[in-house]
Chains A and B, each alone.
Chain A
Amino acid sequence: MKYIKKILGGGLRDYTMVIALVVLTIIFNITSGGKMITSSNFQNLISGNAYVLVLAIGMVMVIVIGQIDLSVGSVAGFSGMVMALAVRDLGLPWWLGVLLSLAVGATIGAWQGFWLAKLSIPGFITTLGGMMIFRGGVIWISKSISVPAPVELKVFGAGYLPEWGPTFTGMNNSTLLLGIIAVAFFAFMQLRKYNRSAKLSEKTEELWAVVGRIGLIGVVIGYITWIFGTGRPGTSFPIPGLILVVLVIIYHIITQRTTFGRHIYAVGGNKSAAALSGVNVQRTYFLTMLNMSMLAALAGIMFVGRSTAAGPSDGSGWELDAIASVFIGGAAVSGGVGTVIATMVGGLVMAVLNSGLMLMGVGADRTQVIKGLVLLAAVGFDVFNKQQGRQSIIGRVFPGKRK
């Protein structure tokens, strides 16, 4: 046990949600007769949830500043519809439609940020208004009819990486390359951290623990790579998943390593103290809301690409899935706590629940009930642990976030 702990670089408690995710996956695999851990199911799981996870990235930042955004579903639907209409009726090229859609998202974000930052209207109210305005808006501009999307977009919503190179690898070579890059990157970061902490005379861990960790993660990534890479010919790790991974890396760095990221946590942790430390609280509010709506537009585009048409009810209820992912990921309702990585784990727990219950033939009705109970259990567990005077467990899912 001691050795496992050292390899993981923290107590097992830090990994509760990751363990829950793995256990859930295995249980569903058994109960569904091996249908859970298959190439096609994993591929569907990723491309079918990527857009919600993109929303959750923005949502965790909004929740960290102590606000909430109820409008993301409507904004995603509205932006997607604007794009589809612009391409169909104005004859714009698809890429211009995408840029226009992102610009619409940014404008909406600026509008909501204005109400929150300048007029101090709580985000709940501001975005409740936005939720109605843009849901109404999408129905209005589409006249309640689905609009076909440009075919080029399909790649963003349901595309796969190209096939190339030799066949003796036995899998999709793009996926293999991704897996190799991921393992190499992880090993590089771990070794660099090890070297630096040795120099700083910080409490250094043993080299074998670091190597053990690299080996463990290597095996895990290798296994996942193998699953994604050995599906039907022509399939691979999905492109929406790749977009998501890139965004996660970017936003992890933004939230953990930039001044803006620090300001988000400062404002959420204690607004007055942040203001007295020179943080421009209004600007932080404004930019966070702006960012959220832009990501909502991106999620809308990805969804439209997947379903090949923009519909008037696209995005209904997405805000709730995104918010649930954030809270299962250990964020605090009062703000100041939550990370992008932990939110992704939270979102994947929801996704695996959805997928697993479906494979078991559980109806949508009971799936909803179970998801609700899981949300309560996860948050209740977190609150219970905080009352015991410990730090938020789930919030520390990965040792990358130092508290």
Chain B
Amino acid sequence: MEHPLILQMQGITKLFPGVRALDDVNLEVRRGTILAICGENGAGKSTLMKVLSGVYPHGTYEGKIIYMGNEMVFKDIKESESAGIVIIHQELAMIPELSITENIFLGNEIVKHGLIDWDAERNRTVELLERVGLTVDPNTLIKHLGVGQQQLVEIAKALSKNVKLLILDEPTSALNEDDSANLLDLMHGLKSRDITCIMISHKLNEIAAISDAVTVLRDGRTVETYSVEAGHVDEDRIIRAMVGRSIENRYPAHESNLGEVIFEVSDWRVEDPNNPGRLVCKNSSFFVRAGEIVGFAGLMGAGRTELMRSIFGRNYGIYLGGSIKVRGKEIRVTSVASAIRQGIAYVPEDRKNLGLNLLDSIRKTTVSANLRAILRGRLIDLEREFQVSEEYRRSLNVKTQSVDHSVATLSGGNQQKVVLGKWMFTEPDVLILDEPTRGIDVGAKYEIYRLIHELADQGKAVIIISSELPELLGITDRIYTIFEGNITGEIDSQEAKQEKLMRMMTNTAGSESKAGKDEKAL
């Protein structure tokens, strides 16, 4: 089946001061199909979509955009939208305090006699929500919807604008498995309504599942475009094209060297601070050995992050009970500072909002969690600060010209390396990593994995929370599963299969659990 072309982008070149963000990029999309665009962070995917949607107006780039047979010269987003091109950004752009209806028609209100026609808007909203398979009251405020539902509202909003070409920038990056599957189904369904989709994605399995063609960008250039046949995609080929080299194994080989149990949490109970009476951790008990990498698997909202943050100096929730032992000695941690002093480090999942002060330089960030180590008298020793940050820059291979540069100038992968360096400098016994590779490209992921292995080889206890099951299976020694605040199982990574893990993550029965002591948590 040969569809006609709906969009051709020819020879697109976009310059930023000092950087060639896009260099002669060519892109073709056939009508009624789904095109996946992939590439490492910084490859130019988002820039390309901004050129297409008019965020960068005609004249600020070179090249041609031919859409439905005509050359397009968009001045701004409004013009591209009226032509039927709608972009949904990774960070959803809706107003939490307004209702679904108000958000859908924001800037596009149905007006009668100078006033908003609420009835018409609501009726149309109900109709639109039905099309995206969302059954909620159109008067519901956005803030009361889950991320998955908000994503659907965004699509409904796009539909309200008679979208012909829908661009989704990493649509499932914040969604759990169910919502992701749901969204992908919906995208598949849009094809039959003659809506074309461009999807930017890192997730190769999604690309395999729904896209008809894949275009790979690297360093601002189109590297490869090929069609995907019947749900089959050659992942290795895409990865090779993305990184420009072959990664035989996405997870580095590692021989773990397990020591004694050095970190033990027993009967940990935490209450939700916003919802009295609701427990987010119900008698959780687990342990980690020296040199061991332990994974925590669970769906979004299962309480993985909450558990770890409450352990990390009660940074989250209301502590009800439970004990922590480091190297066999019970410790009391009532603040983050005391947790750090007693050898616990926690690298949060949300790098930009929780992990970094984007105003700081690399050198200030590196020492920020352990200023005591570089004090001379009562003053910070700037020489030591420089030496330490320079040392970590070299050993972690952070790509930057100078440690005096702001962390905001780094790519996601390099930012994550700086954050890891910051926590390594606190010399922890226990290192908790919450989604350490989220939003990081394939090449940098490999480096982070190697680093995690190195840390384990130094005899540290490493805990990893991840939503990507292959990642957990690839780098951990042992995995705990969490469901609704309970630890529902424990499994050796060698024996584990994704399906089995998924069952444990969605089932309180915990029948797969090996460790008897986890049963009492139920």
Closest to A270 in B: B357
Whether the pair B378, A258 counts as a contact (CB closer than 8 A) is yes
Count, chain B residues at interface, CB 8 A: 38
What range describes how many residues of A lie at the interface?
20 to 34
Q: List 5 A-B contacts (CB under 8 A).
A: A259-B375, A265-B364, A266-B368, A276-B354, A403-B361
Which residues of B pack against A, CB within 8 Å?
17, 312-313, 315, 335-337, 339-340, 346, 348, 353-361, 363-364, 368-369, 371-372, 375, 378-380, 382-383, 386-387, 402, 404, 406, 422
Contacts of B383 in A (CB 8 A): 196, 200
In the complex, A273 has a CB within 8 A of chain B: yes
Contacts of B17 in A (CB 8 A): 389
Contacts of A259 in B (CB 8 A): 371-372, 375, 380
Whether the pair B387, A266 counts as a contact (CB closer than 8 A) is no
Contacts of B404 in A (CB 8 A): 402-403
Whether the pair B356, A270 counts as a contact (CB closer than 8 A) is yes
B357 CB contact (under 8 Å) in A257, A336, A389: A336
Whether the pair A275, B361 counts as a contact (CB closer than 8 A) is no
Encode A261-303 as 1/0 by CB contact (under 8 A) with B: 0100110011011111111100000000000000000000000
Contacts of B313 in A (CB 8 A): 278
Known contacts A269-B360, A276-B315; can you find 17 more A-B pairs with CB under 8 A?
A: A196-B383, A203-B402, A262-B364, A266-B357, A266-B368, A269-B358, A270-B354, A270-B357, A270-B359, A272-B353, A273-B357, A276-B312, A276-B355, A278-B335, A278-B336, A278-B369, A402-B382
Whether the pair B368, A270 counts as a contact (CB closer than 8 A) is no
Contacts of B402 in A (CB 8 A): 203
In the complex, A337 has a CB within 8 A of chain B: yes
In the complex, A253 has a CB within 8 A of chain B: yes
Bound: A336/B359 CA distance, A: 7
Whether the pair A280, B356 counts as a contact (CB closer than 8 A) is no
A275 CB contact (under 8 Å) in B315, B356, B371, B387: B315
Contacts of B386 in A (CB 8 A): 200, 202
Bound: A202/B355 CA distance, A: 28
Contacts of B358 in A (CB 8 A): 269-270
Closest to A402 in B: B404
Closest to B339 in A: A278
A262 CB contact (under 8 Å) in B337, B359, B371, B422: B371
Bound: A202/B386 CA distance, A: 9
**A270 to B: closest C-beta gap in Å:** 4
Tell which of A269, A270, A277 has the most Cβ of chain B within 10 Å: A277
Bound: A273/B386 CA distance, A: 22
Whether the pair A262, B315 counts as a contact (CB closer than 8 A) is no
Whether the pair B359, A269 counts as a contact (CB closer than 8 A) is yes
Contacts of A275 in B (CB 8 A): 315, 336
Chain A contacts with B in 111-131, Cβ cutoff 8 A? none
Whether the pair B368, A277 counts as a contact (CB closer than 8 A) is yes
Closest to A203 in B: B402
Bound: A122/B368 CA distance, A: 26
Contacts of B378 in A (CB 8 A): 258
Whether the pair A274, B357 counts as a contact (CB closer than 8 A) is yes
Encode A334-356 as 1/0 by CB contact (under 8 A) with B: 00110000000000000000000
Whether the pair A280, B372 counts as a contact (CB closer than 8 A) is no
Whether the pair B379, A258 counts as a contact (CB closer than 8 A) is yes
Known interface pairs A202-B386, A277-B336, A389-B17. Does A257 touch B380 (Cβ–Cβ under 8 Å)?
yes
Contacts of A278 in B (CB 8 A): 313, 335-337, 339-340, 369
